[in-house]
Amino acid sequence: MKLAEESFLTDDFLRQLINVGEVDILVGLPTHNNAKTIGSIVHTIQSGLLRGFPRERSVIVNVDGGSRDGTPELVTGVSIDDVRPSSNPYALRTLHSISTRYASSPASGIALRTILAAAELLRAKACVMLSPESANIEPEWLSKLLRPIYDDGFDLVTPTYRRHKFEGLLITNLLYPMIRAFYGLRIREAYSPEFGFSGHLGSQFLGQNVWNDGTEGSGVELRFTLAAITGRYLICQSFLGEKDHIERSAADLVPVLRQTVGTLFTALEADFPVWSAVAGSQPPPTTGADHEVLLEPLRVNRKRLREMFSTGVAELESVFQSILSSSTLTELQRIARLGEEEFHYPAELWVRTVYEFAASYRKSVISRDHIVQALAPLFRGRVCTFLLENRNASADQVEDNIEALCLEFERLKPYLLQLWKSGE
């Protein structure tokens, strides 16, 4: 046992871990006020473990961020007997459920750190992180995320989902293309609350200096994926099925940008030796489809998006002058004046915008948090164009458009390299 990990785990949690002993499979379940759904999720997990890993020693580790609705008690109180008869009555191994409260408010970084420390102490071979907010977790998800690790020696399994063509637009318009261009691996969901990992990768990441940067581990799941790529661990994808939509309010975009884009821009700084040497990209091994697109009609207020873009470009001119080149800013100001139908934020301009933001972030031309916030109205403009381009598009056409954007990110990569070097 490492003292470093012990120091932030409570005595009670350590006692629980000692009682569990060694395990083969660990299921990490971070929670915060999930009493309504947690019971069925734990049943699903138990069912998945009994079906997929009946003879393995397993534990569900719940780390709670200060729930006031009794979520931890519900996790530890769910009896495995409810699911045992219907799945495998002859399971020989016991399944433990333990719980700890790490803080009075949720912080995904601390939750993951606690789970990684628990996995290391329990010498878990294969681990999986699940989110209680994913309402449609299926028992099969456990096998899909754990089998490649447990049987095939992979270190990280990221999910792929069936999504509506207009969902996950930050992923399709920025995270996926940029990670693909810079890290050379076409990982669809680099930032996901569900993923599987080996105990070895977990231990390595636990020892990295990412936990004490004052961000409480914001966006740590993305850092985890990027660390696996740069550490040359074996990575694959597994198709899980439909991802249930989580409702988000307008206020959610900026925190999400902080967690994802801020984390990615920070990682680019440390990973410069890696990404500057990467050319092209390769798809990772994938079980099942690497994407599936739903096409149901969805009513979206494009006008409002365009207005927020135009307002942002006009009002934030002084901020953009510090971040963007004059040619990019002039072009943005031109398209901000276009009407709703002729509005078009081209892929090339979007990529240049993102790259100039990344370079300015690295140079800290203004507060880094302000740089990330300033991207929000521009992202809305890009979303508006994406919606226009794909409003009548088939699944293949949507994929073609995303692929074209990815290639644009790859094509213009030397531009960021040039900006990067000019700041040295």
Partner 1 sequence: MREMIISELSQAVHEMARGFAHFLPRLVVTLILAFGGWVIAYVVKAVLRSILRLIKFDKLSENAGASQLLTNAALPSATEMLSRFVFWVTWLGFILLGVHVLGILGLQEQIARFFLFLPRLFVAMFILFVGLLAASFFSRAALLAAVNANVPSPRVLSLALRTIIIVFVLSIVFEELGLAEQTMLVAFGIAFGALMLGLAIAFGMGGRDLAKRFLEKRFVRGKKAENEDELSPL
Interface residues with partner 1 (CB under 8 A)?
Answer: 166-171, 191, 245-254, 256-257, 260, 298-302, 304-305, 308, 311-312, 315-316, 319, 322, 365-367, 370, 373-374, 376-377, 379-380, 383
Closest distance to partner 1 from the beta carbon of 171 (Å): 6
Closer residue to partner 1 (CB): 232 or 299? 299
68 vs 299, which CB is nearer to partner 1?
Answer: 299
Of 12 and 252, nearer to partner 1 (C-beta) is: 252
Query: Whose Cβ is closer to partner 1: residue 47's or residue 260's?
Result: 260
Comparing CB distances to partner 1, the nearer of 282 and 392 is 392
Considering the complex, state which of residue 250 and residue 277 has its C-beta at the smaller distance from partner 1. Answer: 250
Q: How far is the CB of 87 from partner 1 (least distance, A)?
A: 32
Contact yes or no for 285/236 (Cβ under 8 A): yes
**Least gap, CB of 367 to partner 1 (angstroms):** 7
Minimal distance, residue 226 CB to partner 1, in Å: 16
Residue 229 Cβ vs partner 1, minimum distance, rounded to whole Å: 19
Closest distance of CB 363 from partner 1, Å = 9
CB of 147 to partner 1, least distance (A): 25
Cβ nearer to partner 1, comparing 42 with 378: 378
